[in-house]
Amino acid sequence: MRRKPKLLDAAPSVFQHGAGPPVVVDLGSQRGDGDTDRQEAGGQGVVLTSQTARVRGLDELLEDAPPDREVARMAQRIARRLSLRRRPRDPRAERGNGALASVPYRYRSDDIDLDRTIEVLTERPVPEDTDIVVRERMRPRKAAVLIVDVSGSMRGEKVRIAAATVAALSADLSGDQIALVAFWSDAAVLSPLVVPTTPARMLDQLVRIPARGLTNVGFGLSVALTELERSSARRRTAVLLTDAVHNAGPDPRLIARRFPELHVLLETDGEHDAPLGRDLARLGRGRMAPVATHRDVAPALNRLLAG
């Protein structure tokens, strides 16, 4: 039996470090008029709302508890055992396969940019090796936002799947930018793109979020997109970890289409909505992969992030 729509009668909150203005755009202009105020997403009835977010401190949300050492150890074990299989690169250098760029000589390239080198040498009568300018194919920077559905309770296999996802994605993005956003009916920016952190710390904050009920996928995506747009990385990716049982707030399809790349890890160990998960990935120019246990995570991420 289809559930009754859940009407959110108050603006959702964004929990984050520090204070600031609301960060979520008003979706009202995308809805149209008339009967379009009430639509369905996935298999669940929802009511579209036109809301901005209230910003609140993260300390208002997280339960005051010491770090769970067992959870930290589990994340470390998973990080060692589950890592993404990196795509082969040029063994001669970590230069990547991006566009050519003129950079100081680093003993890696002999493709001299003669015009730029002459400009430098005219100002340095006694040049050093690094005054030579060469052309290298620079590895594109990447940024990724992991969006985790924490509605219900972060216990058992659900926390193991989250740990595997955090660990594997962090391993693949070592040296790049990664952010963590958790959502339920509200959302929390647990780790911004601009603040380096560790997988253990991110997971510790996830498990300190009290159990929540409603699942507002659209709002979680809105917060994550705002965070992703802060980055100047050439490749910007979002990975949504959810069962896609969307039962509150706006239709998440409206925001999914605005992502440059959105992949969905669909948790299938309980109730889930595969049609909505596929829609979100398709509209976000990404792919969907099912995961039933934490052992499924690394192979699934390899499939999603390949290419």
| 286 to 52, 224, 268: CA distances (angstroms) | 27, 15, 19
Res 4: pLDDT: 43
Assign 74 a pLDDT band (cuts: 50, 70, 90): low
Mean pLDDT of the chain: 76
pLDDT tens per residue, range 197-237 = 788 788 888 888 887 778 899 999 999 999 998 888 888 99
Distance CA 306, CA 234 (A): 16
Range scoring the smallest mean pLDDT among 8-12, 104-108, 297-301: 104-108
pTM of the model: 0.73
Distance CA 72, CA 200 (A): 5
Cβ pair 54, 226 in contact under 8 A: no
Tokens for 250? Answer: 């706006």
What is the secondary structure of 231-278 as a DSSP string?
---SEEEEEEEE-----SSS-THHHHTT-SSEEEEEE-SSS--HHHHH
More confident residue, 201 or 259: 259
Res 59: pLDDT: 83
Cβ pair 71, 199 in contact under 8 A: no
Q: Is the confidence at residue 39, as pLDDT, over 90?
A: no
Distance CA 179, CA 220 (A): 13
Contacts of 79 (CB under 8 A, 6+ apart): 167, 168, 170, 171, 199
Going by DSSP bridges, is the β-strand pair 133-137/13-16 parallel, antiparallel, or unpaired? unpaired
Q: Which domains does the chain have, with CATH numbers?
A: 13-17+23-85+140-305 (3.40.50.410), 100-137 (no CATH)
How long a stretch of residues is the chain?
307
Q: Is the confidence at residue 50, as pLDDT, over 50?
A: no
Distance CA 22, CA 219 (A): 13
What is the secondary structure of 45-64 as a DSSP string?
EB------PEEEEGGGTS--
Cβ pair 216, 248 in contact under 8 A: yes
Distance CA 122, CA 33 (A): 65
Q: Is the confidence at residue 24, as pLDDT, over 80?
A: no
